[in-house]
Amino acid sequence: MGVTIALAIGVLLGAGLGATGMFLFIKETEMDKIIERQAEDKSIDLDDPWDTEELPEPKEEVKYGGF
């Protein structure tokens, strides 16, 4: 009898945790869609926001201890 009750409680707790996890997962994916829509409205490129070609080249090589 005790095993049956423990199993039933485990199933109920598992269902509750699973439902909570799915709710949070769906909420997160909807927030991602909203962020992507806002980025499209502002014409922001999410793929590569940093252009590495604009960085200046170092004047000389810095080695350890040579500040």
Residue 8 lies in a domain: no
Express each pLDDT in 12-63 by its tens digit.
999 999 999 998 888 888 888 888 887 777 655 556 556 556 666 767 776 7
> What are the structure tokens assigned to 61, written together?
């090589």
Residue 24 lies in a domain: yes
Domain range for residue 23? 14-39
Residue 25 lies in a domain: yes
Q: 46 near 36, Cβ under 8 Å?
A: yes
Residue 48 lies in a domain: no
What is the pTM assigned to this prediction?
0.44
Alpha carbon distance 1, 7 (integer Å):
10
Q: 66 near 56, Cβ under 8 Å?
A: no
Residue 49 lies in a domain: no
Residue 27 lies in a domain: yes
**How many structural domains does the chain have?**
1
| pLDDT recorded at residue 11 | 96
The number of residues making up the chain comes to 67
Residue 58 lies in a domain: no
